[in-house]
Chains A and B, each alone.
Chain A
Amino acid sequence: MADFYQSGVIVTLHKLGRPSLEKIESEIFEFSKQRPIALVLPALYAEFKADALKGIVEELKKVKYINEIVLSLGRATDDEFKKAKEFMSVLPHDVKIIHNEGKRVKEIYATLERNGLQPGEDGKGRSTWMAYGYVIANGKSDVIALHDCDIVTYNREMLARLCYPVVNPNIDVAFCKGYYSRITDRMHGRVTRLLITPLVRSLQKLVGFHPFLVFLDSFRYSLAGEFCMVTDLARVMRIPWDWGLEVGVLAEVFRNYSARRVCQVDIADNYEHKHQPLSAEDAQKGLMRMCVDISKSIFRILAAEGIVFSDSLFKSLEVAYMRQAEDTMLKYEADAAINSLVFDRHEEAKAVEAFANAIKQAAQIFIENPMGTPLIPNWNRVGSAIPGIFDMLKKAVEEDNK
């Protein structure tokens, strides 16, 4: 059972005792009449062949409070899109699938590009951004919940706990992020454990107190892909389309809302999804690519907050990170031992070395081009640049789903 300690600047909602799912769901059902909820699911067609999505759909069938489900489908042909539609048709909700590779949505991307608005490359960032656009265009939901489609251990309690703080007007939270432990016979979540936390704490040591670093460090699982937010946030949010997405979202939340209106919630006792290979030799693949993108994103956000990055700061950061990561590793080794979990210290140390290398590469890229990967523009700007874009997007999705 979890403790009830409140750490950091944001609100932490723990899972204490055995809360009644039925009670939470019935409350959300009532609240959702005032604040309708849209569930956004970013998915690749490959995920329709895996068991995880079948389990998610089975669980979602039992959920009554969702107003609409928007599945943003990537890497799918027209035939595969039809199969995906058929697959999702068992749900009793209003389900819309955004066919990102279809001619209509592709034309929307082309419209954005010719107007100087870069939606970025194909990926989760762009897919979710497009789904937010559809939710805004549809105008039927005040709250957006999002989770991945590869969660093997999915149950509807995750969704209920994720939505509850945002739909409940008495809590009045604008953004809620899920957290959980990722354990099988060993601990997973290497990027969060061995990159994000040590990197953020090393930066705190080097640059001193900074509200954003404190904010980022307050999240127990900053890379969790599950969150819930008010639709207004989706209008003003500028997010990166690469792996820096999760950190980018947190930066936008930090920029737009007070920490008092941000929370994290324990959504699952355990969480399992697909694991990425480390690929320490190739920075363009696997966890290495992820780490480079995340580090770049953090540097960029901090630079935007007024922190000056120099060669010497980056050199000190490399050393500070290594020390911090080694100390963290020792803590996790002890944690694994007391919980009878396998702990491969060599593998963890290899990961730390690879991550240090990723930070170095990210620093180099940042120095060469501080603006780096452009962020996807927010929907308010898009609506201002192309007045009919929401009508076009709605029409595209509705025609595709006919």
Chain B
Amino acid sequence: MDNFINLLFQPFRNFWASLAAFLPNLFAMLLIILSGFLIAWLARKLFLRLFTAINFDVWCDKAGLTAIIRKGDIWTRPSDFFGRIIYLIFIIIFLMIGLSALRLPTIGNLTSQFFLYMPRALSALFILIIGYIIAGFVARGILIAAVNSGYHYAKLLAEAVRVLLIVLILAMALEQFGIAPGVVIAAFSIIFGGIVLSLAIAFGVGGIDTAKRIIEKRLEEKKEEKGNIEHL
């Protein structure tokens, strides 16, 4: 009879023991997540102050980052936008830490993968932002130089260079993100190689005469140089 009662109540006891063992983890998770919200809110406030102090919005306007944000139909100040992103990053980090406090094997794997992925994601984001600024800077430089040299298709040339650089940056960022790296590298090689090859063919076909003239001129110059008296 005792055995039967034991058999009947054992699962309940086991459940209670598991629950008693799990509840502190659950409370720890809730506490971590709640404190995460508070820390995220504080971090956002702190970053907003910092952004105001360093005139971050003006810097974003000049660097073209505001224009990118607006392309996504987001019409808040750049500092507000980045403040929210920082807030979300903190929330996600604390959510992951909180979940790991549950000590569940599946969630443990997930969180460890997440923290392993974080540096890659951040570096990809960094590549995207810096790359976009550099692409804009180079395109503007080419536009100014081409306009000043009286080149007719200055805008087209600058845009083409910008698109090429953005393709390169996107490929680099995707590779960092680790999203189908093999496909990204292959696609990038095909697209970039295709563009360069078509430019080379276009220049080769269209510029045969020019290239011929340049080579002939060089050869003539060399001949003239040879005929000159060489001083000891």
- Could you tell me which A residues sit within 8 Å of B by CB distance? 103-104, 107, 110-111, 114-115, 385-389, 391-392, 395-396, 399
A-B contact pairs, 8 of them (CB 8 A): A107-B77, A114-B57, A114-B58, A392-B66, A392-B67, A392-B70, A395-B71, A395-B73
A103 touches B61 (CB 8 A): no
In the bound complex, CA of A391 to CA of B70 (Å)? 9
Nearest A residue to B55, CB-CB: A114
Nearest B residue to A390, CB-CB: B67
Q: A104-B75, A107-B75, A115-B58 are in contact. Are A395 and B70 (CB under 8 A)?
A: yes
B75 touches A387 (CB 8 A): no
Nearest Cβ distance between residue A396 and chain B, in whole angstroms?
A: 7
B75 touches A391 (CB 8 A): no
Q: Is the contact region of chain A dominated by helix, strand, or loop, or is it mixed?
A: helix
Nearest Cβ distance between residue A379 and chain B, in whole angstroms?
A: 16
In the bound complex, CA of A387 to CA of B140 (Å)? 9
B83 interface hit (Cβ, 8 Å): no
Residues of B within 8 A of A103 (CB): 75
Residues of A within 8 A of B58 (CB): 114-115
Closest 4 CB pairs of A and B: A388-B67, A107-B75, A392-B70, A386-B61
B98 interface hit (Cβ, 8 Å): no
Residues of B within 8 A of A385 (CB): 61-62
Question: Which among B58, B68, B70 has the greatest number of chain A C-beta atoms within 10 A?
Answer: B70
B70 touches A110 (CB 8 A): no
B64 interface hit (Cβ, 8 Å): yes
Known contacts A110-B77, A386-B66, A387-B140, then 7 further A-B pairs from the complex at CB < 8 Å, ordered by chain A residue: A386-B61, A387-B62, A388-B61, A388-B70, A389-B67, A391-B70, A392-B66
In the bound complex, CA of A392 to CA of B73 (Å)? 9
B136 interface hit (Cβ, 8 Å): yes
In the bound complex, CA of A114 to CA of B52 (Å)? 11
In the bound complex, CA of A56 to CA of B67 (Å)? 36
Residues of A within 8 A of B68 (CB): 388
In the bound complex, CA of A152 to CA of B77 (Å)? 42
Nearest Cβ distance between residue A290 and chain B, in whole angstroms?
A: 34
In the bound complex, CA of A114 to CA of B58 (Å)? 7
Residues of B within 8 A of A110 (CB): 77
Residues of A within 8 A of B61 (CB): 111, 114-115, 385-386, 388
Residues of A within 8 A of B77 (CB): 107, 110
In the bound complex, CA of A386 to CA of B77 (Å)? 14
Residues of A within 8 A of B62 (CB): 115, 385-387
Nearest Cβ distance between residue B97 and chain A, in whole angstroms?
A: 36
Nearest B residue to A387, CB-CB: B64
Q: A114-B61, A385-B62 are in contact. Are A396 and B140 (CB under 8 A)?
A: no
Nearest B residue to A395, CB-CB: B70
In the bound complex, CA of A386 to CA of B140 (Å)? 13
Nearest A residue to B70, CB-CB: A392
Nearest Cβ distance between residue B223 and chain A, in whole angstroms?
A: 50
In the bound complex, CA of A111 to CA of B67 (Å)? 11
Q: A386-B61, A387-B140 are in contact. Are A111 and B66 (CB under 8 A)?
A: yes
A399 touches B73 (CB 8 A): yes
Nearest Cβ distance between residue B65 and chain A, in whole angstroms?
A: 9
Nearest A residue to B78, CB-CB: A111
In the bound complex, CA of A387 to CA of B70 (Å)? 13
Question: Which among B67, B68, B75 has the greatest number of chain A C-beta atoms within 10 A?
Answer: B75
In the bound complex, CA of A386 to CA of B65 (Å)? 10
Scan B69-86; emit 1 where CB is below 8 A from any A CB, else 0.
011010111000000000
In the bound complex, CA of A260 to CA of B64 (Å)? 41
In the bound complex, CA of A395 to CA of B68 (Å)? 11
Nearest A residue to B61, CB-CB: A386
Nearest B residue to A399, CB-CB: B73
Residues of B within 8 A of A387 (CB): 62, 64, 67, 136, 140
In the bound complex, CA of A104 to CA of B62 (Å)? 19
In the bound complex, CA of A114 to CA of B136 (Å)? 22
Residues of A within 8 A of B67 (CB): 387-389, 391-392
Nearest Cβ distance between residue A392 and chain B, in whole angstroms?
A: 5
Residues of B within 8 A of A399 (CB): 73
Contact of B64 among A115, A388, A396 (CB under 8 A): A388
Residues of A within 8 A of B76 (CB): 107
In the bound complex, CA of A387 to CA of B66 (Å)? 10
CB-contacts of B68-120 with A (<8 A): 68, 70-71, 73, 75-77
Nearest Cβ distance between residue B197 and chain A, in whole angstroms?
A: 31
Nearest A residue to B76, CB-CB: A107
Residues of B within 8 A of A111 (CB): 61, 66
